[in-house]
Amino acid sequence: MRAFIAPLQRHTLLSVDMSATRWRRERQVKKLLRATEPDLILDGRALPLMWGRDRVGQPDLDRTHWLARLCQRYQKGYLHLSSALVFSGDMSRPYKEQDTPDARDEFGQILAAWEREVMRQVEDAFVLRLGQPFAGRRSNNLAAALDHLRSGKRIEVSDRYQGSPVHVAEVARVVCGVLDQMSVGAPRKGLYHYCSEGMAGAYTFVEAVVACASQYEEFKNARDLLTDTTDPDKPIVNHTLDCAAIRHEFGIQQLPWRDFVERAIQRYRQLYIQ
């Protein structure tokens, strides 16, 4: 995020490490807000939880309750990053903002409750649902696939699981674009979707990662380790998103997710190999 904000010098980003947001009391949140005096809270805590670093549960909702209540008390804006996983995946078309979250798993239900808490408490609440984020830094689907390939482990994936990938740099670009427009009068509240251009099944996504990674010595045998387990008789689980609203309201165009795969692999190699 900082890479997009700093060169333009239109906003100042004060980063708070995830470990510092595991608040146990509301007064810890109040202390943070008073110390930093932000104009707007960018709440990205759900992203690492999507990647499974920590178990999501009631304490996360409690922290959101405290943060949202204090934001409203001090008249701060609140931009919350959420996920397509608030939906069950039963719908055959891409999900729109007006579709009701109907996740059946605990994680999706908590994410949906997180959204409701933010929008219930904060007048200027902006919720941005994202497709499945990927990056070269652990942990996420792309980095996990590269970890398996490096260790010679077989990867079995199915295209019956469909979604809308989005590189973390795309998330940063979109958030910065929204913030820029908020600062000149665009809506500071609402519910929007964003993902990169192009639906991808799980196998299609990993296949693209393998094709790109195979050019490097450490992944030269990667193609032999990928197996397509797509069963045409099994139902499709669809977490694709319709992004027309954010394009119409903010003029933000989608970029192809495939354009970011090489960038993510290079970042992985810089961090964990070179």
pLDDT class of 51 with cuts at 50, 70, 90: low
Summarised one tens digit per residue, pLDDT across range 228-253 is: 999 999 999 999 999 999 999 999 99
CA distance readout (Å), 256 to 184, 195, 197, 260: 28, 9, 4, 8
For residue 104, give the 3-state DSSP assignment.
coil
Is 205 in contact with 166 (CB distance < 8 Å)?
Answer: no
Q: In this model, does residue 84 exceed pLDDT 90?
A: yes
Per-residue pLDDT at 2: 55
The average confidence (pLDDT) of the chain is: 91
* Residue 4 confidence (pLDDT): 47
Q: How many other β-carbons are positioned within 10 Å of the β-carbon of residue 234?
A: 11
Q: Taking the CB of residue 25, how many other CB atoms lie within 10 A of it? A: 10
Nearest Cα neighbor of 147 from 8, 273, 17 is 273
What pLDDT is recorded for position 1? 54
Class of domain 2-272: alpha beta
Segments in 2-139 forming alpha helices (H): 2-8, 26-36, 46-50, 58-73, 106-121
Domain boundaries, the chain: 2-272
